[in-house]
Structure 1
Amino acid sequence: MRGSTVLPAIWLVSDARNDARLEAALERLPRGSGFIYRHYHLPGPERLAQFLALRRIARARGHVVILADSALTGAEWGADGIYAAPRALWPRRAGLLHLATAHDLGEIGLANRLGADAVLLSPVYPTRSHPGAKTLGPVRFRLLAARSRVPVIALGGMDERGAQRLEWPRWAAIDGLTRAPRPAARGLTGSRRGFMVRSHQEANPWPAAR
């Protein structure tokens, strides 16, 4: 793991539906934000080519670049870390950040045991990805997040307004960070400042590697 890396507060997550807006969104994010590249729908060579192009833009802005894939592929492609279900993060690879997905207490427990560096817990609010699916809501989100041994990033229907309503320092979004910005909403919350919250999760650096 990169011991000097600070966990960003804001994370842009790629998806087929925000593909055309990713470059502009990366430019608009506060410096030092996070970017999770998924794009599972693309064939291997095309996926790699787009990842490298977006990584160049992200690195120019000082963003942390995470690949949704294995640790081996993450290292080969030059990512800062990987994003996957808890079991898929193992075996760990030195020099990479390991971000786990979680939707319930069982997956939080797996992420704890398998040494994830952070957890993306979802869905907090209703999403376009899974219309009609059951959501955690703020109360259950907080209850589950309290069981995590590592920082938790809120995901699912999130945008800046939703993050402020949740009073949570770290959040990720697909649509919420690629929509055209409203005139009154210029300047997202800085990625190193986070939100003023009453939470042990606030503004912690990456935990030591296990």
Structure 2
Amino acid sequence: MTDSARLKNPLPAARALAPGSAVILRHYDDKNRAGLARQLIALCRPRHILVLVAGDARLALSTGADGLHLPEAMMARRRQLLRPSMLLSVAAHSPKSLAKAAKAGADFALLSPVLPTKSHPGDSTIGILRFAAWALRAPLAVYAMGGINDQNVRRLGGSGAVGWAAIEGLSKNLDVAR
């Protein structure tokens, strides 16, 4: 997930991702967000990296993004706004929100925060065991997010996570322009 405060230019980080990865473009305050989305798509698509736009279905559609990512508060029945081939991901923070995400037609959810994060210091976390209990019972695919990095990702083994998402967990270890 991009974050303009931590990584102004997400292109070098996207370039370092492996095929099969995805980028969720946040950069909400970027005046040229549409241009940045198009740049990411041009960079990522030939490398088999998906690009989802956060919070803006019109932008996702107009740029040809692979999908839309929605905060939990925005998830109510947005599937019908998208082309059938587009992915819909949502942020989730509880079993109830995972069920709502599935009912809204989401393809997958980012369940967070699993572990303590720099972006939400002091907030309560789900923890690995509770994450596993929720993810294993979830009615859709669940990615772990929040405090996950290359040092602790192995703790997710057997948790039901289909993968993991990060804001800083990836970029801090890359030699990229911040």
- Tell me, yes or no, if structure 1 residue 23 matches structure 2 residue 11: yes
Among 167, 171, 177, the alignment partner of 2:164 is 171
Structure 1 residue ranges without an equivalent (≥5): 1-12, 183-210
Deviation digits for residues 42-89 of structure 1 (CA, Å, limit 9, x no counterpart): 23xx11111211222222322011111343331112100000032163
2:35 alignment partner in structure 1: 49
- TM-score (structure 2 length as normaliser): 0.86
Please, which of 15, 36, 59 is the counterpart of residue 24 of structure 2? Answer: 36
CA distance in 2, matches of 1:65, 1:181: 19
* Moved segments of 4+, more than 6 Å: none
Assess if the C-alpha contact under 8 Å between 2:77 and 2:104 holds in 1.
no
Matched with 1:68 is 54
Alpha-carbon displacement from aligned partner over 1:162-199 (angstroms, at most 9, x marks no partner): 221121440000111111349xxxxxxxxxxxxxxxxx
Q: Which has the higher contact order (CA 8 A, sep 6+)?
A: 1
| Distance (whole Å) between structure 1 residues aligned to residue 117 and residue 67 of structure 2 | 25
Q: Secondary structure at the match of 2:20?
A: coil
C-alpha distance 140-104 of structure 1, shift in aligned 2 (>3 A):
same
Q: Counterpart of 1:98 in 2: which secondary structure?
A: strand
Consecutive unaligned residues of structure 2, counting only runs of 5 or more, are none
Among 128, 136, 148, the alignment partner of 1:138 is 128
* 1:137-169 Cα shifts (integer Å, max 9, x gaps): 001111111232111000111112222112144
* Matches of 1:160 and 1:104, distance apart in 2: 24
Given that 1:70 and 1:88 are in contact with CA atoms closer than 8 Å, whether structure 2 keeps it comes out as: no
Instruction: Report how far residue 18 of structure 1 moved.
Output: 3.2
Work out whether residues 66 and 86 of structure 2, in 8 Å CA contact, stay in contact via their aligned partners in 1.
yes
**2:146 aligns with one of 156, 161, 164:** 156
Give the match for residue 6 of structure 1.
none
Percent identity of paired positions between Structure 1 and Structure 2: 33
- How many residues are treated as equivalent by the alignment? 168
User: Of 101, 108, 114, which aligns to 1:111?
Assistant: 101
Q: What is the CA-CA distance between 1:113 and the residue it aligns to?
A: 1.2
Q: How far apart in 1 are the matches of 2:7 and 2:151?
A: 23
SS at match of 2:137: coil
